[in-house]
Amino acid sequence: MTSLSRLRLTDFRNHAALDLDLTGAPVCLFGSNGAGKTNILEALSLLGPGRGLRTAPLGDLARRDGPGAWTISAILDTAQKIGVGLDVDTRTPKRVIRIDGAPATASDLAERVRIVWLTPAMDGVFRGGASDRRRFFDRQVLAHMPDHGRISAQYERAMRERNALLERPHVDPAWADALEARMAAAGAQIMLNRQRVLDRLQVSVNDRPEGFFPKADLVLEGDVEGRVEAGWDSGAVEDELRVALMAGRGRDRAAGRTLSGPHRADLGVVHRPSGAPAAQASTGQQKALLIGLILANARALVATRAGPSPLILLDEAAAHLDVHRRAALFDELSSLGGQAWLTGTEALLFEAFADRAQLIEVNDSTAA
């Protein structure tokens, strides 16, 4: 099990100096709206790869009227110390990562902390566009494969260069070939990463007991994704994507953007009990589906045994559940191998945890 035994925030959002001693049990943060509960979850999300649950610019995380810099430090149950912060004493402010006081990388962090989360902003993922579901699913992939973010950035850079090249009056075929080769190499890895995690997630969904959080059937939809699902190796997927990009140059030039590739994929989700697409499910069914997927991914991460158990961040999830679903959620979180963090406005929301959780009141950027 991976858990935090201490969390300290300095000049982060509305927290000038927050210091929490933790027991390793699930943590329930309660307090009025605006007290800073979600800010604590955001700080936790920055202990992993990526830009955190709000994807905010680093400078926006600094406390108003503070010095501009901020730090997040934590002690793991292994006694290892990890920290992330913004250094403003350099020519260009930059993110700094340290492990046991020594400089480290995001990959080093990912080897020690894996994180999954659910926030109210994600409630509309099934009703939104394909880009919403891609971001949601890529976040799940990133928890399994920390390099997924770096590879995705490589793909995006190559695609921007290709789009700019296609805007020119005369396109150098050799240059286009080179950019498409870069896109195909990164794109094939993105698609394979997604499919591997989708397979793990579907197994975890199927293995979960029937209950208050319905099961889902998942599929990746896109130009080449079906071939990945059929078991093509990375070389075959790369070749197929490269050929598709070459064949689509004229179309893409007319459209002003690239119309083939993993950046166009969608996550198909079916509400298994009814057989209906998730987009057609009720708001309550969609919320239950999302919670079920996050729980399934947490279990999938535990099952891989390839890294630490995940931190599970659930912002305001309990408030939207009836008493029976809250109890079922708390039972499942208690049985997982990772430390769960939940927020809510009242301590009564967490009474079904009984003595299995640590309740912390957050009030005016303090906690006790």
- Determine the residue type at 326: R
CA–CA dist 225, 235 (Å, integer): 14
Percent of the chain with pLDDT over 70: 99
- Same domain assignment for residues 27 and 93: yes
For β-strands 276-277 and 102-103, DSSP reports them as unpaired
* 133 and 62 inside one domain: no
Choose one of 289, 307, 325: the last residue of a domain.
307
Q: Of 260, 276, 307, which one is at a domain's C-terminal end?
A: 307
Q: What angle do CA 180, 181, 186 make, to 5 degrees?
A: 95
Q: What is the pLDDT of residue 257?
A: 96
| Residue 319: per-residue pLDDT | 87
* pLDDT at residue 364 is higher than 80: no
Same-domain status, 65 and 89: yes
Q: Are residues 165 and 301 in the same domain?
A: yes
Give the global pTM: 0.93
Tokens of 356: 């299995």
Q: What are 212-267's pLDDT values in tens digits?
A: 999 999 999 998 887 777 778 889 999 999 999 999 999 999 999 999 999 999 99
Query: How would residue 320 be classed by pLDDT, with cut points 50, 70 and 90?
Result: confident
Residue 119 domain-assigned (yes or no): no
pLDDT of residue 366: 67
| 118 in any annotated domain | no
Taking the C-alpha atoms of residue 89 and residue 3, their distance in angstroms, rounded to an integer, is: 32
CB 173 within 8 A of CB 162: no
Do 288 and 303 belong to one domain?
A: yes
For residues 308-326, average pLDDT: 92
Establish if 120 belongs to a structural domain.
no
- Give the mean model confidence (pLDDT) for residues 76-100: 90
CATH number assigned to the domain comprising residue 105: 3.40.50.300
Name the one residue in this structure whose structure tokens are 């994600």.
122
Q: How much is the pLDDT for 363?
A: 87
Residue 367 and residue 220 share a domain: no
- On average, the pLDDT of the chain sits at 93
- pLDDT per residue over 117-132, tens digit each? 999 999 999 999 999 9
Same domain, 206 and 251: yes
**Co-location of 246 and 364 in the same domain:** no
In a shared domain, residues 133 and 278: yes
Average pLDDT, integer, range 179-183? 98
pLDDT at 49 over 90: no
pLDDT recorded at residue 209:
84
Structure tokens at 249: 């140059």
Residues spanned by the domain of 132: 126-307
- Say yes or no: 266 and 150 in one domain: yes
What's residue 91's pLDDT? 75
322-329 long-range CB contacts below 8 Å, 24 or more apart?
323/352, 324/212, 325/212, 325/213, 325/288, 326/352, 327/352, 328/211, 328/212, 328/213, 329/212, 329/213, 329/291, 329/295
Q: Which of 307, 322, 346 is the last residue of a domain?
A: 307
On whether both 205 and 331 belong to a single domain, the answer is no
Number of domains composing the chain? 2
Average pLDDT of 301-320?
A: 88
Please check whether residues 361 and 246 belong to one and the same domain: no
Mean pLDDT of 264-276: 96
**Residue 273 clears pLDDT 90, i.e. is over it:** yes
Q: Is the model's pLDDT at 154 over the cut of 90?
A: yes
- Backbone φ and ψ for 45, nearest 5 degrees, come out as -65, -25
